[in-house]
């Protein structure tokens, strides 16, 4: 089941500040001399002509190449692009400073899902500071999340977007990907003094429901080792997951509700289809529980998920409706554009040679841009990565005072609000009883109902009325209001 595409040796030592600079190829390397670590200190030292390379003694296999991208996408702020280099693997990222106060505002990490889809979709279609309007132009986006936050958009894992590997290396599990992301975050924050101790939030959507709990847990656990070595820990404050697949089993079983009850729109399948589907649900529950949840048998779990998807998901695919928005027909073809033609336009925009040069895209990348990479998706499918739920990571983060926001557009089918509400209510953690007792209440934007919310003890579940899978795309004003309230730790 593909969630954003067709259905479906730490050894740290204490740092000091003696700076050495050596020319390395076309850029500059800021490194440590005789065991002395030399942070770059400020983004103003980053060149717009060549990449500046950042290293960290605790991560000898990792480095970061970064360049200033001038007025790219949003001329009101500084923007940067670059690569997280892990030997022969290279992960591309964008970074935009806050429009309000980059020296004090929080930092948000954003990833799209897939697995295998580029965060350029989040950047140019959803919450970024500009939106692509044609193959060679963008428009200023007033409801961007960098209105009052510094925001990263990361093409991860290896092979996604402008990310690449030199010798065919690849990542096929979320746990592998998490180590690279956590290392990157540590290197970036250690080099730029003004970000040390800054509130940090990890956000994303769709397969991000699998990614983000594991990524955040890796950042949290890595902090212990950073402190032991004399470095500043990352001030991880929260995780935000939009229309995520945190528990694949509840997502799969909730397809009945979305198709055969008025959970969001009137039923879209025939009575005969719904009756047949209803009769399958008990068998699916038992099989998924026995093969995937109580114990994990790779062969049996894959068979159970395949059987249930055939009976619960395939009937919807036959309707021609958009799996990411049950209120509309699929436009442009699911395989071609994920039912959103603008995605093809974004890809063509990123194929411009002059733009790639401005962004510092590695010249070895000569192929046309692909918004979602099938090879990456296949690797995750082969490892059965989806079937490893991340609800326990969420519970563990909550117990450590890391806030968690689960937000869901009510029109999404593939990672819908019904399944997401079910796992949040079932989650075992110390605040569960009080969370479950909280009634859903309305939340508003400019005096108008925006959806429903349930919240207790740092755990919040939010629905966004009239939004599909990509909430910031469909409801940018409501999405920004939600995020701003979340960053301020005020009631949504």
Per-position DSSP letters for 108-125, written without gaps between them? EEEE--TTTB-THHIIII
Query: Which stretches of the chain drop beneath a pLDDT of 50?
Result: 1-35
End-to-end distance of the chain based on CA atoms, in angstroms? 32
Contact between 152 and 94 (Cβ < 8 Å):
yes
Per-domain residue ranges of the chain: 1-268+319-492
pLDDT at 24: 23
What is the pLDDT, as a whole number, of residue 86?
87
Catalytic residue among 412, 455, 465, 474: 412
Distance between CA atoms of residues 471 and 110, nearest Å: 14
Does the annotation mark 412 as catalytic?
yes
Q: Which of 79, 163, 206, 249 is catalytic?
A: 206
For the residues of 420-440, what is the DSSP string, one character each? Answer: HHHHHHH--STTHHHHHHSPP
- What is the Cα–Cα distance from 85 to 82, expressed in whole angstroms? 9
Angle between helices 298-312 and 271-288 (to 10 degrees): 170
Which residues, in sequence order, are CB contacts of 379 under 8 Å at separation 6+?
170, 171, 172
DSSP per-residue codes, 30-98 = EE-BTTB----B-GGGS-SSSPEEE--TT-TTEEEEEEE-TTSS-TTS-EEEEEEEETTEEEEEEEE--
pTM: 0.90
* pLDDT one-digit tens code per residue, 90-145: 999 999 999 999 999 999 999 999 999 999 999 999 999 999 999 999 999 999 99
Tens digits of residue pLDDT in 292-340 = 999 999 999 999 999 999 999 999 999 999 999 999 999 988 887 899 9
Known catalytic residue at 206 = yes
Q: Residue 276 catalytic?
A: no
Point out the catalytic residue in the list 51, 191, 469, 474: 469
Give the domain 1-268+319-492 fold: Rossmann fold (3.40.50)
């Amino acid at each position: 089941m593909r969630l954003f595409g067709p259905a479906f040796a730490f050894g740290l030592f204490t740092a000091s500040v003696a700076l050495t600079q050596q020319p390395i190829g076309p850029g500059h390397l800021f490194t440590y001399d005789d065991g002395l670590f030399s942070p770059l200190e400020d983004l103003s030292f980053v060149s717009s002509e060549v990449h500046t390379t950042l290293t960290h003694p605790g991560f000898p296999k990792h480095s970061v190449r970064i360049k200033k991208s001038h007025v790219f996408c949003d001329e009101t702020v500084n923007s940067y692009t670059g690569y997280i280099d892990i030997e022969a693997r290279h992960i591309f990222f964008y970074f935009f400073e806050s429009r309000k106060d980059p020296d004090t505002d929080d930092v948000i990490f954003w990833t799209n899902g897939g697995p295998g889809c580029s965060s350029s979709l989040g950047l140019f279609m959803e919450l970024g500071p500009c939106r692509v309007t044609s193959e060679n132009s963008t428009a200023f986006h007033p409801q961007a999340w960098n209105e009052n936050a510094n925001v990263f958009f990361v093409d991860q894992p290896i092979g996604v977007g402008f990310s690449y590997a030199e010798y065919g290396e690849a990542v096929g599990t979320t746990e592998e990907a998490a180590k690279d992301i956590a290392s990157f975050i540590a290197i970036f924050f250690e080099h730029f003094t003004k970000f040390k101790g800054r509130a940090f939030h990890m956000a994303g959507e769709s397969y991000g429901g699998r990614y983000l709990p594991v990524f955040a847990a890796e950042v949290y656990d890595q902090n212990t080792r950073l402190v032991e070595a004399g470095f500043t820990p990352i001030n991880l404050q929260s995780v935000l997951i939009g229309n995520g697949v945190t528990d694949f089993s509840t997502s799969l079983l909730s397809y009945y509700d979305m198709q055969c009850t008025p959970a969001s729109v009137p039923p879209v399948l025939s009575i005969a289809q719904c009756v047949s589907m209803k009769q399958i649900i008990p068998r699916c529950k038992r099989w998924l529980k026995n093969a995937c949840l109580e114990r994990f048998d790779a062969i049996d779990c894959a068979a159970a998920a395949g059987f249930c998807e055939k009976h619960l998901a395939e009937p919807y695919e036959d309707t021609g409706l958009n799996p990411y928005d049950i209120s509309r027909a699929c436009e442009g073809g699911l395989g071609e554009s994920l039912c959103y033609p603008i995605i093809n336009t974004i890809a063509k925009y990123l194929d411009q040679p002059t733009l790639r040069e401005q962004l510092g895209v590695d010249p070895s990348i000569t192929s046309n841009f692909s918004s979602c990479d099938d090879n990456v998706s296949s690797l995750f499918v082969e490892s059965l990565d989806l079937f490893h739920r991340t609800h326990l990571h969420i519970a563990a983060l909550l117990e450590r005072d890391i806030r968690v926001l689960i937000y869901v557009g009510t029109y999404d089918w593939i990672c819908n609000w019904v399944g997401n509400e079910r796992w949040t209510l079932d989650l075992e953690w110390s605040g569960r009883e009080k969370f479950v007792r909280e009634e859903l209440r309305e939340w508003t934007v400019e005096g108008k109902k925006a959806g429903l919310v349930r919240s207790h003890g740092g755990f919040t579940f939010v629905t966004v009325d009239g939004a599909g899978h990509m909430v910031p795309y469909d409801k940018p004003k409501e999405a920004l209001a939600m995020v701003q309230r979340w960053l301020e730790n005020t009631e949504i």
